[in-house]
Amino acid sequence: MAMVKIDMKFEPEVLANTTRSEITAKLTVSSESEKEHWCECDITVSPPLSLAPDKTLNLGRTRIGILKKGKKPLEKTVKIYMAPHMAKHDYLVNVTAYLYDEDGAIAERMDTSQAIRCEIAPIT
């Protein structure tokens, strides 16, 4: 049984492919475990997406915090950037959450993926 639940939402939901775009991924993490766990997440994107605005960065890590059962879920935002003139396509964002116990060992690992949609921007 999974102790951790990850929810990922994007703002805006769709990227325009004619300009350099950025999107905010909002990670919401909660735990059903009786114990407290420290949580970190690895975020993986593939080109043309990047975690840095000025260079290619495909892997990043964010510290979520201490998860407690019955407490409010913790949220973290991550910026994702895209170069202009990319094809109309869905691009995957992968998140791997790690829960560490009081000994510093990984108690649970959970993977989730979600697609960012890129569409042709209307000409104005």
CA distance 121 to 14: 10
Count Cβ atoms within 10 A of the Cβ of residue 123 and give its class: 0-12 exposed, 13-18 middle, 19 or more buried.
exposed
CA distance 8 to 76: 10
CB 45 within 8 A of CB 93: yes
pLDDT higher at 16 or 58: 58
CB 39 within 8 A of CB 67: yes
Count Cβ atoms within 10 A of the Cβ of residue 104 and give its class: 0-12 exposed, 13-18 middle, 19 or more buried.
exposed
Q: What is the pLDDT of residue 28?
A: 94
Top mean pLDDT of 11-15, 48-52, 81-85, 87-91 is at: 48-52
Structure confidence by residue, pLDDT tens digits, 52-86? 988 899 999 999 999 987 788 999 999 998 876 66
Q: What is the pLDDT of residue 62?
A: 95
CA distance 66 to 72: 11
| 1, pLDDT greater than 60 | no
Q: What is the pLDDT of residue 19?
A: 63
Q: What is the pLDDT of residue 100?
A: 93
